[in-house]
Amino acid sequence: MSTTIAPQSGGSKERVRQDKSQLNWRQRRGQWDVKYSPYLYIAPFFIVFGVAGLFPIIYTAFISLQDWDLVRNSGEYIGFGQYNWVLHDREFWIALRNTFSIFLLSAIPQLVAATVIAAMLDQNLRARTLWRMGVLLPYVVAPVAVSLIFSNMFGDKFGLINTLLSDIGIDPILWHTDIIPSHIAIATMVNFRWTGYNALILLAAMQAIPRDLYEAAAIDGAKTVRRFFSVTIPQIRPTMIFVIITATIGGLQIFDEPRMYDQTGTGGANKQWLTITMYLYNIGWGKFNFGRAAAVAWLLFLIIIAITLMNNYLTRRFVSGEDAVKKSKKTSLKLTAKGGK
């Protein structure tokens, strides 16, 4: 700290205005300190990121241009051949379709349910902590265990759900044959695990809402439902957006549940529930074609960037309330310039 202050106390105002080349060594060092030490302080993060994040990304890009041999750790440069192959592969597009379908089937019901559960937990309940712990319980169960249990329940012939369905006279659903039922089954596993988690995050946001808003609304004659839509929902928007973004990233990388959904883990006989990460894994560790797997990894990277940018855009549009003004001046300025609130 003391060195940071040194140049100011050491140099008079005149000398600061003087040409830089006339500064002595001590002063120059002090100036560098002010200029560069902040970068030094944040360097550890970026060094770790460079080694553990950036390097693999770049190395993956390098491998994706090769016909790569994992065991010999060498490859032959073939340009964009791998990308070309992947983009012309039927399975890639099916995997993309499945990923988005499972994502939508899981994210939307999950967020709706989480918001409703959070709102209920926000009431004055008896044994409040018990209920709150209760909704988090599924999150503690390992994804693979969840998948094993649910895969068993969703068995085509001897599964619990089909047995119940046939007991009440409904035809059994072919969970492992038809596309949409298989997506629903997998989305159910995701929802089981993540709804409670999201509910707790939203609950935390709801608890931060000033109670006087509710009182004022009540005095104005707003009933419970009206208060929920007009006070609670607008107030938890920023948290909602955080939850949506994490759900999006998780949804695009969904792997454990579909992989454990049947015994082979390759996404079904007609790739009904093959997701993009499973596709990547099958090419890499199933077929030992790491060049091609690296190309898929990069395509997935680009897809996630595109979705994140889209999210970012929607967020700016979406958060147009007072929060936005507090949080980001730029955004609010832009919006006021456009005639927004």
Partner 1 sequence: MSLSRRKKTLGMAAGATVFALTLAACGSSDPADDTTEATETTENTEPVTLTVATFNNFGYTEELLQEYMDLNPHVTVVHNVAATSNDARTNYFAKLGAGGLADIEAIEVDWMPEVMQYTDFLADLTDPEVEGRWLDWKTAAATDPDGRLIAYGTDIGPEAVCYDAALLEAAGMPSDPDEVAALLEGDWDTYFEVGQDYVDATGKAWFDGAGGTYQGMINQVEAAYENPETGEIIATENPEVKAIFDQLTAVTPEISAHLSQWSDDWFAGLATGTYATMLCPGWMLGVIKGAAPDTTTWNVADVFPGGGGNWGGSYLTVPEAGDNVDAAKALANWLTAPEQQLKALAAAGTFPSQNSALEDEAALNAAMASGEAPTNAEFFNNDSLGTIFSNRANAIEVSPFKGEFYFQVNDAMQNALTRVEDGSQDPTTSWNQFVTEVEGIG
Q: Least distance from C-beta 340 to partner 1, angstroms?
A: 51
Q: Which is nearer to partner 1, 78 or 213 (CB)?
A: 78
CB 193 within 8 A of CB 143: yes
Nearest residue to 175 (alpha-carbon basis) of 143, 193, 153, 198: 153
Q: Which is nearer to partner 1, 266 or 331 (CB)?
A: 266
Positions in the binding site for partner 1 (CB under 8 A): 70-73, 89-90, 151-152, 155-159, 174, 176-178, 262-264, 266, 268-270, 285, 287-288
SS3 68: strand
- Min CB(143)–partner 1 separation in Å: 17
Looking at the Cβ atoms of 205 and 283, the one nearer to partner 1 is 283
| CB nearer partner 1, residue 80 or residue 285 | 285
Please report which residue ranges of the chain form alpha helices under DSSP H: 2-10, 13-17, 25-49, 55-63, 81-87, 90-121, 128-140, 143-153, 160-167, 179-207, 211-219, 224-227, 233-235, 237-252, 256-259, 276-281, 290-318, 322-327, 329-337
Residue placing its CB nearer to partner 1 in the complex, 20 or 72 = 72
Q: Using an 8 Å Cβ cutoff, are 312 and 297 in contact?
A: no
As measured in angstroms, the least distance from the Cβ of 270 to partner 1 is 6
Nearer to partner 1, 4 or 270 (CB): 270
Minimum CB separation of residue 156 from partner 1 in Å reads 6
Q: How far is the CB of 49 from partner 1 (least distance, A)?
A: 24
User: Residue 75's beta-bridge partner residues?
Assistant: 68
Phi, psi for residue 152 in degrees, rounded to 5: -65, -45
Shorter beta-carbon distance to partner 1: residue 92 or 197: 92
Minimum gap (Å) between residue 174 Cβ and partner 1? 7
Q: Measured from the CB of residue 253, what is the shortest distance to partner 1 in angstroms?
A: 19
List the beta bridge partners of residue 67.
76
- Is 247 in contact with 311 (CB distance < 8 Å)? no
DSSP 11-47: S-HHHHHS-GGG--HHHHHHHHHHHHHHHHHHHHHHH
The total number of residues shown for the chain amounts to 341
